[in-house]
């Protein structure tokens, strides 16, 4: 009889211990599948002409990693419509540098960004206009 009580006690003890510890090891937070968008982005009522040029350049050169409308792709590229990339923290030149030289992983854990081949400064300027208009439509100034 005492053995059964003891065994029950041990079983409950292990069960509770597992319940307590398991979430820390099971990748509990990784509920988002790879590639899903990281933020929700509101579009402005309309874009300037320069931003529309930037949008098509962004879709061709950047959206594969940064997502359509720069919403980010989990595990691949960060959302650029994000307070981290507001003009005071990441000025326009940091976009030019990112495209020309690539970026070492530092804010996220998605690896390095490679330099973008065959894009001009003017095209990146148009992309910056597009991203800034998206940012402003989402209260990021
Ligand atoms: C192959 C994937 C990939 C492509 C293509 C890509 N990026 Fe990135 N980009 C990343 C990743 C990953 C980071 C995050 C690095 C970090 O901070 O950890 C990043 C970061 C950035 C940053 C932040 C730079 C900084 O100083 O922190 C900017 C700006 C940026 N990208 C702009 C662009 C633009 C503009 C394009 C297209 C012309 C582009 N990216 C194309 C993956 C990509």
For the stretch 57-95, pLDDT in tens is 999 999 999 999 999 999 999 999 999 999 999 999 999
For ligand 1, pick from 76, 84, 113 the residue to mutate: most ligand atoms within 8 Å of CB: 113
Q: Report the predicted TM-score, pTM, of the whole model to 2 decimal places.
A: 0.83
CA distances from 26 to 14, 17, 73 (A): 17, 14, 22
User: Which residue in 66, 83, 62, 71 sits closest to 43, CA to CA?
Assistant: 71
Atom of ligand 1 nearest to the CA of 94: 26
| Distance of CA 138 from the midpoint of ligand 1 (Å) | 20
Q: Are residues 75 and 107 in the same domain?
A: yes
Domain, as residue range, for 9: 1-31
Residue whose entry in the numeric block shows the structure tokens 């081949």? 117
Residue 9 lies in a domain: yes
Residue 43 lies in a domain: no
Domain count, the chain: 2
Query: What is the C-alpha separation between 1 and 38, in angstroms, rounded?
Result: 56
Q: What confidence tier does 33 reach under pLDDT thresholds 50, 70, 90?
A: confident
Query: What is the C-alpha separation between 6 and 98, in angstroms, rounded?
Result: 63
Q: Are residues 64 and 111 in the same domain?
A: yes
Q: Are residues 82 and 17 in the same domain?
A: no
| Distance of CA 103 from the midpoint of ligand 1 (Å) | 6
Q: Are residues 9 and 76 in the same domain?
A: no
């Amino acid at each position: 009889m005492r053995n059964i009580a003891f065994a029950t006690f041990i079983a409950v003890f292990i069960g509770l211990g597992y319940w307590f510890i398991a979430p820390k090891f099971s990748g509990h937070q990784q509920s988002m599948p790879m590639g899903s968008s990281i933020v929700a982005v509101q579009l402005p009522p309309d874009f300037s002409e320069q931003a529309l040029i930037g949008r098509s350049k962004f879709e061709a050169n950047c959206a594969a990693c940064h997502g359509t409308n720069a919403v980010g792709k989990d595990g691949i590229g960060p959302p650029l419509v994000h307070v981290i990339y507001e003009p005071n923290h990441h000025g326009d030149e940091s976009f030019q540098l990112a495209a020309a030289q690539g970026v070492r992983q530092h804010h996220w854990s998605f690896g390095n960004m490679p330099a973008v081949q065959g894009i001009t400064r003017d095209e990146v300027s148009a992309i910056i206009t597009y991203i800034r208009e998206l940012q402003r439509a989402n209260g990021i100034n």
